[in-house]
Structure 1
Amino acid sequence: ECLSNAVLACSKSPAPGQRRSTPVTQRIFQVGSGWFPEHKGGAENVFYNLHLGLEKLGFESCGIVPGKGQAEIDTQGRFRSFPADASMLSRARAIRAATDELLRPRPALATSHFALYTLPILDKLRALPLVVHFHGPWALESAAEGASSHSVRVKKLIETAVYRRAQRVIVLSEAFGRIAQEHYGVRDSALRLVPGGADLSAFTTQGSRAEARTRMGWVEDRPVLLAVRRLVRRMGLDRLIEAMATLRQKQVDAVLYIVGKGPERLALEELVRRHGLEDTVRFAGFVPDELLPVAYRAADLVVVPTAALEGFGLIAVEALASGTPVLVTPVGGLPEVVSGLSPDLVLPGSDADSIASGLAASLTMPGRLPDEAACRRYAEANFAWPVISERIAAVYRELI
């Protein structure tokens, strides 16, 4: 009920594939958390691809991002970079100086993708309509990963100051909409729900599953499960490893490859050793972007075992675009991503036993899951960037 207005507003957006008449070019000012070719993260991926998509819809973007200058090169100076590793005071000064230049001539709209870099210029954006892209609750995610209470409080104050200033807050899921309201006081009338997008073209031409496994050097005679995650506590990888131990006890054979890096690597490796799962759970480490579609294609099943605070689930979309079904825990916005394709893709819970139960059913009854063609069609119809860019542009136009 709390998202009734947000859902209603989404219904006013163009239907997938339907484009509005090309508008007069509108100049918008954007604050990002990074430039995707330089910084590989989910929010940075969205920021970069949305910038490209909006240009095709009549929006000319300028703005600021942390980085080493690639954004300035790619946009002929319309985006300015500042050093991400400088002191916060130095970053704030650089942000304010660049903003002074970029706000002439005055844009029609400002957008924020990261509160920390928006706060230093809130006063300069006072005369502009402001749209916040809520990629996740920074403070709550920090708390879930063990940050100090002081750090969490400061982050929440920063986020709240920016979010309450916005005329529109775009959330990735109903789950994140509730968090924006309950934890940050965002008005229901300001919320708009638009899921994340993905560049699906990279995930649709990876050859056969056997060819992909050969290229990755993965086993070819056993079912392959894949988890692509940052190795931090809230990602639920410890529960997935416990579930793999349960599968072995039930004599359900499979190999799990964990792709990613992070501070929990040693603890997770110790958990694998404790259960004697060295032949069942394998750490693949960092996989470069050009190989990630191959990894998705090589798997029989992708698993997203998140334990807390998952607002969207880009990994789930990328897996589906590769033709590989994906099982997700019923956490945050994950069920919203896959349940429209099949309710069987949502695990019964996020604990180890529930994950094991869902994996066992999927591995022993593979016909219950969507096939390759259905996965690809669903991803294209719901999450391709042209579809998502049009929906976000419709939100911007409400304020222009």
Structure 2
Amino acid sequence: MKTLQLGMGWFPEQAGGLNRVYYDCMQYLPAAGVQMRGLVAGSPAVAQTSGGQVQAFAPREASLLQRWRGVRQAVGKALAEENYPLVVSHFALYTFPVLDRLGRRPLVMHFQGPWALEGRVEGGKTLSTWFKRQLEQTAYRRMTQFIVLSEAFRNILNREYGVPLERIHVVPPGVAVERFDPTLPRSVARTQLGWPQDRPILLAVRRLAKRMGLENLIAAMAQVRREHPDALLMIAGKGALGTTLQAQIEELNLTENVRLLGFVSDQDLALAYRAANFSVVPTVALEGFGLIVIESLAAGTPVLGTPVDSIPEILRPFSEDLVFESSAAEHLAQGISEALSGLRQLPSEQACIDYVQQHYTWPVIASRVKSVYQAALTGDAV
């Protein structure tokens, strides 16, 4: 099965859940019998680091019109050089300008989030949100089948964009378990990162954006500190809220209890999961799939998450104790304090690892993705 895969960016160059899933698809789907050729926005180094499997059609810093022109040229060239019976999209922005070049080929969409709705939740301008919505709607009308990461986003795609439920298939992302060494002692991971050995450490890996709930989490730490003055929250990630969050930390006198780490490399992130006592996912809206949830579990580290969208879909079948009552600061504080004091039972390292192995490894996920691709090609039911 030969496919042309249109992504947003290349993960080693550009962090983010969408790019991580695209990167992993390019790595693991070939073993399931899916041939992949990829196009993304990025630097010339993309071709080198991907072994020629993925090409950059334009720099990420280029204007939108330049990127659209680049993807049109690249798609036209790829389809002229080789016959790709199936085209797969991971990002509507770079699929919209090539719709007229695809002919009658079936088109599968990896829907990883409602782009316009996310922009609105994060305070985007009305005109920008309208533009994104129109672009998405146009692209989605052309799609043959959709892959979503959770039931929550299946419902959003159906409700907000009018896509029939029978064309939407829930396939969660897999996790590259080989990235993590669950046998590495926590003390060693902390030494390598320069983290303190004698304090309970919480880890939040999030883009610094409004819908991620980091303001509530920082506010919760002010309450947690009263019972657990040595608790330390490490926040890994970058984004527009960095300055605002740092100001909040200082206003609440939490500089000894909360640290903004900025961007953390993939290698150090694996260490960070091992170094933490547990991870926290405080999302308040639009969590299509918390990839960080299963990454933390794959490292043997439990996760506490809010009852928002996909998070409870992952955590509740494993342990009800891992889901906060709500995303409000007081409920985050209550759950964190209970976990630190032992009143809330957290799963063992081995239980976390076993759960991921049973449900979220790439060989399992790749076969499910391939079945949706096959249905798009043949018109059969999945």
Q: State which of 335, 356, 362 in structure 1 corresponds to 2:333.
A: 356
CA apart distance, 1:194: 0.4
2:75 is aligned to: 99
Give the structure 2 partner of residue 371 of structure 1: 348
SS in 2 for 1:56: helix
Match of 2:133 among 143, 156, 167: 156
Structure 2: gaps of 5 or more residues: 378-382
Residue aligning to 1:43: 18
Residues in 1 aligned to 2:152 and 2:247: alpha-carbon distance in whole angstroms? 33
1:288 to 235, 247, 265: 265
2:108 alignment partner in structure 1: 131
Q: Does 1:345 align with 2:292?
A: no
Runs of 4+ in 1 over 6 A off after TM superposition: none
Q: Name the SS for the 1:399 alignment partner.
A: helix
Match of 1:381 among 358, 369, 377: 358
Distance 1:78 1:317, change over 3 A: closer
Aligned to 1:18: none
> Any idea what SS the aligned residue of 1:330 has?
coil
> Structure 1 regions of 5+ residues with no counterpart?
1-25
Deviations 1:237-263 (A, max 9, x none): 110111111112345641111112222
Asked whether the equivalents of residues 160 and 185 of structure 1 are also in contact (C-alpha less than 8 Å), the reply is no
Secondary structure of 2:211's aligned partner: helix
Contact 2:40 2:54 in 1 (8 A): no
**Residue type of the alignment partner of 2:52:** Q
- CA-to-partner distance for each residue in 1:337-373, whole Å, 9 max, x for gaps? 2222111111110000111111111111167110000
* Paired AA for residue 337 in structure 1: I
Instruction: Confirm or deny: 8 A CA contact 1:71 1:79 kept in the other structure.
Output: yes
Contact 2:202 2:234 in 1 (8 A): yes
In structure 1, what is the Cα distance between the partners aligned to 2:357 and 2:155?
27
Aligned partner (choices 165, 179, 185) of residue 202 of structure 1? 179
Q: SS at 1:284's partner residue?
A: strand
Of 56, 62, 77, the residue aligned with 2:31 is 56
TM-score w.r.t. structure 2 length?
0.94
Q: Which amino acid aligns with 1:151?
A: S
1:239-318 to 2 correspondence within 5 Å?
239-251=216-228, 253-318=230-295
Go from structure 1 to structure 2 and tell me whether the alpha carbon gap of 1:76 and 1:65 turns closer, same or farther (over 3 Å shift): same
DSSP 3-state at the match of 2:332: helix
Q: Which residue of 2 aligns with 1:14?
A: none
Matches within 5 A, 1:155-174: 155-174=132-151
User: Alignment identity in percent?
Assistant: 44
Using the TM superposition, give the Cα deviation of residue 77 of structure 1 relative to its aligned residue in structure 2, in angstroms. Answer: 6.3
1:70-85 equivalence runs, <5 A: 70-73=45-48, 74-76=50-52, 79-85=55-61
Q: Which amino acid aligns with 1:170?
A: I
The answer on whether the counterparts of 1:63 and 1:99 sit within 8 Å (CA) in structure 2 is: no
Asked if 1:334 is matched to 2:328, the reply is no
Question: CA shift at 1:399, angstroms?
Answer: 2.1
Q: Could you tell me which amino acid in structure 2 is paired with residue 299 of structure 1?
A: A
> SS at 1:102's partner residue?
helix
The RMSD of aligned alpha carbons is 1.6
Distance 1:191 1:290, change over 3 A: same
CA distance in 2, matches of 1:150, 1:215: 47
Query: Are 1:218 and 2:195 an aligned pair?
Result: yes
What's the secondary structure of 2:376's corresponding residue? coil
Number of residues paired by the alignment?
375
2:299 aligned residue: 322
